[in-house]
Amino acid sequence: MRLGRYWIIAFLLLAFAASCGRRPNVPEPSYESAQKLPFDHQAPANGVSPTQALVPASTRLPEGTAITIRLGAQLSSASAHAGDTFDGSVDSPVVADGQTLVPPGAAIVGRVLDAKPSEGTVRGYLRVGLVSIQVDGKTVLLDTTSIFAKSGTRDGGAARDVVFPPERRLTFHVTQGVDLP
């Protein structure tokens, strides 16, 4: 009787081990062909991710974004001084990731960073940058690239002053990303 019990236990262990093992001639699924979970899928480049549709749109003006403005008044190296401010407005929509973040007409404030009038044959110059932009009635401080212009000379060799007339279009680029209201 004792020997029979051992055979039964041995037989059950062998059957259990065999049932837990791999079936022969059945290939294991490859990682590439395994079904992915919904959150593992990448959104198509031209589509919208279901989770992104639930997240509010970005209101960040990223680094490198172009801002094209129109001057409200003339700027001249003959009369401008470092620290002077100037006004203008956004000329074309400010867009990031296909979304308009700032509409045309938004007010801007710029600053004269450096200026020197021309004297005799020494050419004058003017360097300007943007300081702030109005978005939804709130002032947003900006860090942008500057624009530098050096004057030419007249036929007699005399230097001219740099003059940006009213309505002149200037394009600046954001150098440090900023959150918008």
Q: What is the mean pLDDT of residues 66-83?
A: 97
In the chain, the number of structural domains is: 2
CA angle, residues 37, 43, 46, in degrees to nearest 5: 160
pTM of the model: 0.67
Give the tens place of pLDDT for each residue, 2-58: 556 666 776 666 666 666 555 555 555 555 544 555 555 555 555 555 555 555 555
Are 33 and 93 members of one domain?
A: no
Are 93 and 114 members of one domain?
A: yes
Are 70 and 111 members of one domain?
A: yes
Are 65 and 102 members of one domain?
A: yes
Owning domain of residue 100: 61-179
Count the helix, strand and coil residues of the chain and give each as a percent rounded to the nearest 5: 15, 40, 50
Q: Which residues contact 73 (CB under 8 A, 6 or more apart)?
A: 86, 87, 166
Are 43 and 108 members of one domain?
A: no
Are 73 and 29 members of one domain?
A: no
Are 107 and 172 members of one domain?
A: yes
Are 113 and 166 members of one domain?
A: yes
Strands (E), the chain: 60-61, 66-71, 75-76, 85-90, 94-96, 99-102, 107-116, 125-135, 138-141, 146-150, 163-164, 169-173, 178-179
pLDDT range class, residue 157, cuts 50, 70, 90: confident
Give the tens place of pLDDT for each residue, 78-119: 999 999 999 999 999 999 888 999 999 999 999 999 999 999
Are 43 and 67 members of one domain?
A: no
pLDDT given for residue 117 in this prediction = 95
